[in-house]
Amino acid sequence: MSTTAVPTAPPVSPARPGRRAIGALGVLALSLGTLQSVVEPALPMLQRELGVSPAEGALVSNALLITGAVLAPVAGKLGDRYGGKRVLLWLMAVVSTGGLLAGLAPNLPTLLAGQVLQGVMVGALPLSFILVRKHLSTGESQAAIGVVLALFTGGGIIGTSVAGPIAHALSWQWIFALPTIVILTATAAVARLMPHDPPAPSDERIDWLGVALLSVTLLALMVGLVAVTGGLPPIGIAAVVAVVAGLATTWVFVERRAASPMVDLRMLARPAIRSAFVLTFITSVAFGMVVLLLPQLFAVPGDGHGFGLSTTDIGLLLLPGAIAGAVSDSIGGLAARRFGSRAVVLTGIGVTAATMIVLSSLHDAPWQLAVAKVLAAFAAGAGTTALLAGTASTVDAKDTGIATSLLVVTRVFGIIVGSQVAGSILVAGTDPLTGLPAEPAFVTGFLVAGLITTLSIFFLRRNGARS
């Protein structure tokens, strides 16, 4: 007796997002970057309107930074487990609530609460990376990651530019309300257009103890960095180091024994991944030094080695560098796809090192500093984006969110540390007669930034950053 074979259905390939879906994701990144950056230029106005001191006003911007650094890895891990789109939509509900709360805030505590909720927006970056990694090819995802980062950075430029005009034409509340309205619209478009990414199949429970320990460790580190920047005494710095080291050691101990750890430490131990984290930190430290040194040199009175420029003039001179940083994020992803992340990182390191060394002896005109900012921002942006895109395509798909979120946090930490190092150099080189940083202090700062960047070349050659 013969049997008839029943034809089996071909496997169903996952739906690919169309251009409108990627566009909606890009608009969301742009509006998030805008909302993140509106506080800094409007801070003096917020202090006057709310009747708070500069120290209290600083809490407004620091609250978002701290929350973002702490929760980004958590969001990435949850996205790996439950799906990037699902977690992204929940995250945007929290961000939108924070934006609306800040837009209606009658006092500082309410505004701070809104900023804390908005801070979770940093987690949108690794969640976006999860989506493009799952739905696009390796080359396409590397390019898309660069575009998302570029739009997020571009949103920062928009927020810095429009915050003042909006606040003066309407009120300061609208600097939070308008970007939030765009976020709500873009989130609805992502929900409708972006294909669902299924949760990772797993019977293992989430390592909530590891999640809590990593969050507390990052919180202690962020608060410690902010405190150090505010002039913490040496004994306080030692206490911060001891607390962070103790928490980090405990977290590693727990992760090594967890059945399903929050972070697979074996993944972090891989040479390519380890190199990506180290190089991201080194590059970001050098760029953080540039971010602080250049405005300070612009502002030093012009009868000495500075130029005595106004805040408006400084902003105009630094604007091309900000634009270059946004463009470089997009180009970094495309270049990583075409040439490999190693080549892009090495080029960025070389450009940054050469720029800083030249700047240490050639800083007699404002245009020289403006060009240096363009070169440094472009090199740093392209290099760190290439590392991010390369890491996203190197790790297992189930680890995309946690790996990229930790790299994003490393980038933030590096910039903060670099700013602190540069500030310490300027303080040490202050002229006791004028109370202003002397020219040798700036020269030292540029040389240190160049030296730090140059050392990363030797690290790259010794350890390698695989494409």
359 burial class (0-12, 13-18, 19+ CB within 10 angstroms)? buried
Dump the DSSP string for 193-223: HSPP-PPPP--SPP-HHHHHHHHHHHHHHHH
pLDDT, tens only, 443-459: 999 999 999 888 887 77
- Residue in this structure with the two tokens 């797993």, named with its chain if needed: 202
Most confident stretch, 117-126, 185-194, 334-343, 455-464? 185-194
Is residue 347's pLDDT more than 50? yes
DSSP 8-class letter at 53: -
The residues facing 437 across adjacent strands are 430
pLDDT, tens only, 124-183: 888 888 887 777 777 777 777 777 877 887 887 788 777 778 887 888 888 888 899 999
pLDDT of residue 44: 66
Is residue 465's pLDDT more than 50? no
Provide mean pLDDT across the span 221-245. Answer: 76
pLDDT of residue 184: 92
pLDDT of residue 371: 92
pLDDT of residue 304: 65
Is residue 466's pLDDT more than 50? no
pLDDT of residue 446: 93
pTM: 0.75
pLDDT, tens only, 66-113: 777 778 888 888 888 788 888 889 989 999 999 899 888 888 888 888
pLDDT of residue 34: 85
Phi/psi for 437 (5° steps) reads -60, 130
Closest Cα to residue 81, out of 258, 207, 188? 207
pLDDT, tens only, 36-67: 877 776 766 777 777 766 556 666 766 777 77
Percent of the chain with pLDDT over 70: 88
Buried b (16+ CB within 10 A) or exposed e, 419-450: bbbbbebbeebeeeeeebbbeebbbbbbbbbb
Provide mean pLDDT across the span 403-418. Answer: 83
Query: CA–CA distance from 66 to each of 28, 122, 217, 334, 361 (Å)?
Result: 21, 10, 12, 30, 37
Cα 142 from Cα 120, distance rounded (Å)? 24
More confident residue, 358 or 230: 358
pLDDT, tens only, 259-291: 778 778 888 888 888 888 888 898 888 888 888
Provide mean pLDDT across the span 222-231. Answer: 68
Cα 75 from Cα 32, distance rounded (Å)? 16
As a whole number, the mean pLDDT across the chain is 80
pLDDT, tens only, 286-304: 888 888 888 888 888 866 6
Percent of the chain with pLDDT over 90: 8
pLDDT of residue 13: 43
Closest Cα to residue 358, out of 439, 418, 443? 443
Dump the DSSP string for 362-403: --SSHHHHHHHHHHHHHHHHHHHHHHHHHHHHHS-GGGHHHH
pLDDT of residue 447: 94
Cα 295 from Cα 1, distance rounded (Å)? 88
Q: 4-18, 103-117, 162-176, 408-422: which has the minimum mean pLDDT?
A: 4-18
pLDDT of residue 408: 81
pLDDT of residue 463: 64
Name the amino acid, one letter, at 3: T
Tell me the three state secondary structure of residue 356: helix
pLDDT of residue 287: 86
Tell me the three state secondary structure of residue 310: coil
185 falls in which pLDDT band (50, 70, 90)?
very high
| Domains annotated on the chain, with CATH | 17-195 (1.20.1250.20), 208-261 (no CATH), 264-467 (1.20.1250.20)
Provide mean pLDDT across the span 244-262. Answer: 85
